[in-house]
Structure 1
Amino acid sequence: MAMRIVAILFPLFAITALGFVAGRRLKPDLSHANKLNMDVFVPALVFAALANKEFHVTEYLPLLGATLLVVLGSGAVGWAVARMAGIDVRTFVPPQMFNNCGNLGLPLSVLAFGDSALAPAVAIFTVSNLLHFSYGAWLLDHKVRLINVWRVPSVLATLVGLAVGVAGIEVWPPLMHAIRMLGDIAIPLMLFALGVRLTDSRITSIGLGVFAAVLRPVSGMVLAWLVMLVIDLPPREQALLLVFGALPPAVLNYIFAERYRQEPEKVASMVLIGNVTALLFLPLALALSLE
């Protein structure tokens, strides 16, 4: 079991570590690559998974509901802890609520549970992504117009992919193959860019960072377990939900904090330390889910 977990996690952390080393030594400017990834490659990945004729959204409704409960529950836990600890809710809640289900979650799901796990993993990512670009943005700036969320390329790809899948439209195979090839770029680029991004993060609040880094996966896994007691999910989806609960804070939280000037240094500390402590919590989640 230990060797299997190492084999699953090694590619993820090896590519991320390579990105970190390249970021420190070469200091590459990945701003254009990251924009291409968010605007082209990730939407292609999402569309290909959802528009697949083997993807039936109705089969994943329980998983979508379970994911929604875990995300909202994580936000509620973060809000309660922030209020008790005297921490700004807008600083603490988003990193607790929105985890790294893109950069780490998607590749981890495929490596741990096979290619067939990509579709349910994308379903989980879709729920978190929609909430992050809507409620997550509104939480940081109440002036954000939620109606504009559909303009986000990954959200638009989600809506179009679901529409194509539900309507039973078969995309021309050569075109779908080209879209899949574009989507295949997304995951390794996500991991490499994550490593580079971590070199820009500065740890200014170590205590807060460690506290948030532990609370995020612990509360996430507990919430996933509680939700599974209420919602009956197939074994593979239970495993995916448990791993989802254990994921560290998303790097996007830091980007949002910078954009809305919401204590980005503190958020950066939570994100950086959280992704480092993933070395401890992801093996635990995999050990529990692979039993």
Structure 2
Amino acid sequence: MLLRIVSILFPLFSLTALGYFVGKRMRPDLSHANKLNMDVFVPALVFAALANKEFRIADFGALGVATLIVVVGSGLVGWLLARQAGVAPKTFVPPMMFNNCGNLGLPLSVLAFGDAALAPAVVMFMVSNLLHFSFGAWLLDHRIKLWTVWKVPSVLATLLGLAVGIAGVQVWPPLMLAIKMLGDIAIPLMLFALGVRLTDSRISSIGLGLYSAVARPVAGMLLALGVLLVFDLPPQQQALMLVFGALPPAVLNYIFAERYHQEPEAVASMVLIGNVAAVLFLPIALAMVLP
């Protein structure tokens, strides 16, 4: 079991570590690559997964609702912990609420459970992503117009993919292959860029970082276990839900905190220490779900 967990996690952490090493030594500017990933490659990955003729939205309705409950529940737990610790909720809640289900979650799902896990993992990613770009942004700036969230490329790709899948439209195979090839760029670039991005993080609040590094996966896994008592999900989706709960804070939390001037250094500490702590918590989650 230990060897199997290491073989699953090694590609993830090795690519991230490579990105961190390259970021430290070469200081590459990945701003354009990251923009391409978020605006082209990730939307292609999402569209290809949802527009697939084997994708049936009815099979993932309960999973979407369960994911929503875990995300919102994590935010409520984060708010309670922030009040108890005397930390600004706007600083603490987003990293608790929005995990790294893109950079780590998508590749981890495929490596651990096979290609068939990509579609449900994308559903979970899009539920979290939609909330992050709408409620998450509004939480930091109440002037945000929530209705503009459809303009986010990955959200638009979700809507188009669902429309094509529900309508039963068969995308021309060569075109679908081209879209899948674009989507295949997204995951390794996500991991590499995550490592590079972490080199920009500064640990200014070690105590807060350690506090959230434990609270985020523990609360997430407990909420996932509670949800699984209510929702009768297929075994693979149950496993994905528990792993989803164990994921560390998303790097996007730091980007949002910087954009909206919400203690970015403190959030950076939470993101950096949380992602390092994933080395401990993800093996625990995998050990609980792998047969």
Determine if the TM-score, normalized by the shorter chain, exceeds 0.5.
yes
Q: Residue 86 of structure 1: CA displacement?
A: 1.3
Query: Which portions of structure 1, spanning 4 or more consecutive aligned residues, are displaced by more than 4 angstroms?
Result: none
TM-score after normalising by structure 2 = 1.00
Q: What is the CA–CA distance in structure 2 between the aligned matches of 1:5 and 1:233, rounded to whole Å?
A: 23
Q: Which residue of 2 aligns with 1:250?
A: 250
Letter in 2 for 1:232: D
Q: What is the CA–CA distance in structure 1 between the aligned matches of 2:257 and 2:107, rounded to whole Å?
A: 25
Q: What is the CA–CA distance in structure 2 between the aligned matches of 1:142 and 1:171, rounded to whole Å?
A: 40
Q: How many residues align structurally? A: 291
What does 1:77-116 align with in structure 2 at a 5 Å threshold? 77-116=77-116
Q: What is the CA–CA distance in structure 2 between the aligned matches of 1:147 and 1:27, rounded to whole Å?
A: 37
Q: What is the CA–CA distance in structure 2 between the aligned matches of 1:146 and 1:209, rounded to whole Å?
A: 30
Q: Residue 231 of structure 1: CA displacement?
A: 0.7
Letter in 1 for 2:105: G
Letter in 2 for 1:145: K
**Is 2:161 the partner of 1:161?**
yes
Q: Which residue of 2 aligns with 1:55?
A: 55
**Is 2:183 the partner of 1:203?**
no
Letter in 2 for 1:195: G
Letter in 2 for 1:200: D
Identical aligned residues as a percent: 76
Gaps of 5+ in 1: none
Q: What is the CA–CA distance in structure 1 between the aligned matches of 2:241 and 2:253, rounded to whole Å?
A: 21
**Is 2:118 the partner of 1:118?**
yes
Gaps of 5+ in 2: none
Q: What is the CA–CA distance in structure 1 between the aligned matches of 2:176 and 2:6, rounded to whole Å?
A: 33
Q: Which residue of 2 aligns with 1:151?
A: 151
Q: Which residue of 1 aligns with 2:273?
A: 273
Q: What is the CA–CA distance in structure 2 between the aligned matches of 1:271 and 1:85, rounded to whole Å?
A: 18
Letter in 2 for 1:215: A
Q: Residue 84 of structure 1: CA displacement?
A: 1.6
Letter in 2 for 1:175: L
Q: Residue 87 of structure 1: CA displacement?
A: 0.7
Letter in 1 for 2:160: V
For residues 234-259 of structure 1, give each alpha carbon's deviation from its aligned partner in whole angstroms, at most 9, with x where no partner exists. 11100000000000000000000000
Q: Which residue of 1 aligns with 2:30?
A: 30
- State the secondary structure of the residue aligned to 1:78: helix
What does 1:217-256 align with in structure 2 at a 5 Å threshold? 217-256=217-256
